[in-house]
A = this chain, B = another copy of it.
Amino acid sequence: MSKVGFIGLGIMGAPMAGHLIDGGHELFVVQHRSAPPQDLLDKGAVVCASNREVAERADVIITMVPDTPQVEAVLFGSDGVAEGLSPAKTVVDMSSIAPIETKRIAARINDLRCSYLDAPVSGGEVGAKAASLTIMVGGPEAVFEQVRPLFELMGKNITLVGGNGDGQTCKVANQIIVALTIEAVGEALVFAAKAGADPARVRQALMGGFASSRILEVHGQRMIDRSFDPGFRIALHQKDLNLALQGARSIGVSLPNTATCQELFNACTAHGGDGWDHSAMVRALEVLADHEIGQPPAG
């Protein structure tokens, strides 16, 4: 049983923290503008007055916040985690943030004689609730092994990818592949539909071969069904592709199709779609082709 602090009790963080307290760990949370979720309080979560106090009372402090600036604010802001840390504690950032900034953040935490893991997740709200998240970890192996029992309460595919930053790099790689595969399926189905073929039968025919993927299976079906409630919102994927494109610029990598996918997401938001599921990227391709997949074949 560990003393675990959890900062960031949003759509993802709240169920993740719930699994930790269900697993028998002592949970420390913080009172922000809004109170912590009632079910966590009912289960005995201890409410602290600040992030600093969470770090003082817990041994492992997990952060799960929207982006790089929020992680920096939580850790290094006034009354922040860094002020409450004492040597041998561990900070685990499960947010999805910039890999390069992560290396700097890890170094600052290490300077306080504490350990740091970056451990972003994929699997979304469904995976957070079902404790089936994929967790991509960067950091020292010994620290990873210490924290692993906590990860196993929240996720299923848990991989130590490498040193600090490599977990975030892996998450960015994941989001590149997911966006570009959605776009690939979109191009293929829009082409097929406007050429007069039934996209549902095309999808079925392709499922057995080298074009098969989780994206063709799940997101391809969403495109055909016109089922664009999230799921994973376009606004969040835009944030992740921004991490990819800014990271690529800073390390000298060219990501031509990632750039195009970001622009297609931008086209979706121009049509009010920042809250659509990311599979709705196909709508931008449909606008370009003046043809919706769901329409009767033109041929």
Contacts and interface: CB of A to CB of B under 8 A. Distances in A.
Interface of A: 99-100, 103, 122-123, 134, 136, 138, 156-157, 159-163, 165-166, 169-170, 172-174, 176-181, 183-185, 187-192, 194-198, 201-202, 204-206, 208-216, 218, 244, 247-248, 251-258, 260-261, 264, 285, 288-291, 297-299
A57 B5 CA distance: 81
Contact of A202 (B156, B173, B212, B297): B173
A210 B178 contact: yes
Contact of A197 (B169, B177, B178, B248): B169
Contact of A208 (B134, B191, B290): B134
Nearest to A211: B177
Nearest to A192: B173
A252 B165 contact: no
Interface centre among A165, A180, A198 (most CB of B within 10 A): A180
B176 A188 contact: yes
Contacts of A181: 180-181, 184, 211, 213
B210 A214 contact: yes
Contacts of A166: 195-198, 201-202
Contacts of A254: 285, 288-289
Nearest to A220: B177
Interface centre among A201, A206, A261 (most CB of B within 10 A): A206
Contact of A187 (B138, B176, B190, B201): B176
A170 B214 contact: no
Interface centre among A166, A211, A298 (most CB of B within 10 A): A211
Contacts of A205: 134, 136, 157, 159, 161, 170, 174
Interface centre among A165, A197, A198, A215 (most CB of B within 10 A): A197
A180 to B, nearest CB: 3
A103 B252 CA distance: 47
Given A173-B197, A183-B257, 8 more contacts: A100-B195, A170-B197, A174-B210, A174-B211, A176-B191, A211-B214, A212-B213, A254-B289
Given A194-B251, A290-B252, A206 B187 contact: no
Contacts of A291: 252-253
A234 B254 CA distance: 21
Nearest to A133: B209
A170 B189 CA distance: 9
B185 A183 contact: no
A123 B212 CA distance: 13
A161 B211 contact: no
A246 B258 CA distance: 24
B177 A122 contact: no
Contact of A209 (B134, B184, B188, B212): B134
